[in-house]
Amino acid sequence: MAVKSMGQAVAEALGLALEMDANVFLAGEGVGASIHVNPHLPTFGLLERFGPERVRDTPVSEAAIAGLAVGASCMGLKPVVEVMFFPFITLASDMIVNHAAKLRYLSGGLSNFPLTVRVKSGAFSAGCQHSHYLEAWLAHVPGLKVAYPSTPADAKGLLLSAIFDPDPVVVIEEMPLYWSIHAEAPEGDQRVPLGKARIARLGADATLATYGGAVHVALKAAEMLAEEGLSLEVVDLRSLLPLDTATVLASVRRTGRFLALHDATRFCGFGAELVATVAEACHGELKAPPRRVAAPDIPVPFTPPQEAFYKPSAEAVARAVRELVRG
């Protein structure tokens, strides 16, 4: 295994899928001749390798891009389309929510939509029209699958699973991780199944479940807590829908305490689902009420001190764990 950036790992998965299956094509704004020349960006070099028939730059038209994916997938192709920034999913949402997710059901199982929507997420000092963590919206839609990788190996493996999955999958990629996270990722077609969580760190005193960039914040908090003699187990969910409740519940039953963490705002966030699931299943076994650590209920701010204020920090996670364990 070689060390790769998360962006390179995504590019590898895309390249591999294009090589393996002639039905796979990529489309999106700037996925080919991008304004980005950074080799850690996920479609870097693919236009040169596969040509403009299979790596297609589109007009700025999210509804058309998503519609293209839905129509083409129903014809048997395996489209992988990109939504440039997470908030713009709203423009594609009719096609994704009302069509990709529902038409198989409405056809009584006759139609298939093996499409993948890659969404670039994260906070990067551009303000809230470019940054908004909307994963709970997507995970609320029956018929969709939602993956949210945190490491290069998972970014590659989950994306490959998504592309070859018979259902529509939205894969959320946190852009800042493209550069900042370098780790080993396997060569070749090594898939990570959708709906299988990963224990990112073993612990005994409490279980934290999270996904995406927040996994790294949780691991940092776990380091800090270890110095104080507290042992935090970190579960990286990898995919929100399907959700690996079994892994989460087994962990909670071992530690007796639970908290959920995410960069999305707290109210109606995915953490609410996790806490409810744990509370329902483990009520009598919990040593403390389950908790959430999430962003305040505000749009993602632009100016640096406020953007930092928005993002749940390792310190905030450590504080919550101390309270959870020590009461």
Partner 1 sequence: MQRPPLDRAQRLALLTDMLLIRAFEDRVTQLAHEQGRLPGMQITCHGQEAVAAGVVRALTPEDVVVTNHRGHGHLLARGVDPNALMAEIMGRRDGLNRGKSGTLHLADPSRNVLMTSTVVGAAPPLAVGAAFAQRYRGEKAATCVFFGDGAAAEGSVHEAMNLAGVWKLPVLFVCESNCWAGAQAHREHCPIGRIADRAASYGMPGEAVDGNDVEAVHEAALDLLEGRRAGHGPALLECRTYRMHGHGEHDPQHYVDKAELAAWAGRDPIVRYAEVLRRDGLLDAVEPLAVHASGIVDAAVAFADASPYPPPEEALEHVYANPIAREV
Ligand X SMILES: Cc1ncc(C[n+]2csc(CCOP(=O)(O)OP(=O)(O)O)c2C)c(N)n1
User: Cβ 130 to ligand X, closest distance in Å?
Assistant: 7
Residue selected from 188, 304, 326, 327 as contacting partner 1 according to rule CB under 8 A: 304
User: Cβ 60 to ligand X, closest distance in Å?
Assistant: 4
Stretch of residues binding partner 1 (CB under 8 A), selected from 165-173, 191-199, 213-221, 294-302: 294-302
Residue selected from 3, 33, 60, 246 as contacting ligand X according to rule CB under 6 A: 60
Residue 41 or 181 with smaller CB distance to ligand X: 41
- Rg for the chain (alpha carbons), in Å? 19
Stretch of residues binding ligand X (CB under 6 A), selected from 15-23, 83-91, 207-215, 268-276: 83-91
Dihedral over Cα of 266, 270, 275, 280: its sign: positive
Do 183 and 152 form a contact (C-beta atoms < 8 A)?
yes
3-state class (DSSP) for residue 207: strand
Which tokens is 90 given? Answer: 């709203």
Residue 88 or 164 with smaller CB distance to partner 1: 88
Question: Are β-strands 2-5 and 182-185 bridged in parallel, bridged antiparallel, or unpaired?
Answer: antiparallel
3-state class (DSSP) for residue 294: strand
Look at residues 93, 28, 92 and name the one whose alpha carbon lies nearest to residue 60. Answer: 28
User: Cβ 87 to partner 1, closest distance in Å?
Assistant: 7
Residue 29 or 165 with smaller CB distance to ligand X: 29
65: number of Cβ within 10 Å: 26
Residue 297 or 315 with smaller CB distance to partner 1: 297
Look at residues 272, 265, 261 and name the one whose alpha carbon lies nearest to residue 310. Answer: 265
34 CB contacts (<8 Å, ≥6 apart)?
Answer: 41, 43, 44
User: Cβ 202 to ligand X, closest distance in Å?
Assistant: 42
84 lines the binding site for ligand X (CB under 6 A): yes
* Interactions with partner 1, residue window 77-136 (CB under 8 A): 87-88, 91, 124-127, 129-130
Residue 126 or 279 with smaller CB distance to ligand X: 126
222 CB contacts (<8 Å, ≥6 apart)?
Answer: 201, 203, 208, 231, 232, 234
Look at residues 123, 116, 132, 296 and name the one whose alpha carbon lies nearest to residue 213. Answer: 123
Distance CA 19, CA 191 (A): 15
**Considering CB distances under 5 to 8 angstroms, the limit depending on partner class, which of partner 1, ligand X, none binds residue 268?**
none
Distance CA 8, CA 3 (A): 10
Active-site residue set: 62, 130
Question: Are β-strands 116-121 and 169-174 bridged in parallel, bridged antiparallel, or unpaired?
Answer: parallel
296 lines the binding site for partner 1 (CB under 8 A): yes
Residue selected from 64, 91, 128, 316 as contacting ligand X according to rule CB under 6 A: 91
Which tokens is 272 given? Answer: 């609410």
Residue 29 or 233 with smaller CB distance to partner 1: 29
62 lines the binding site for ligand X (CB under 6 A): yes
User: Cβ 62 to ligand X, closest distance in Å?
Assistant: 6
User: Cβ 317 to ligand X, closest distance in Å?
Assistant: 32
Residues of the shown chain interacting with partner 1 in the complex, contacts defined by CB under 8 A: 29-30, 33-37, 57-64, 87-88, 91, 124-127, 129-130, 267, 296-299, 301-306, 308-310
Residues of the shown chain interacting with ligand X in the complex, contacts defined by CB under 6 A: 29, 60, 62, 84, 88, 91
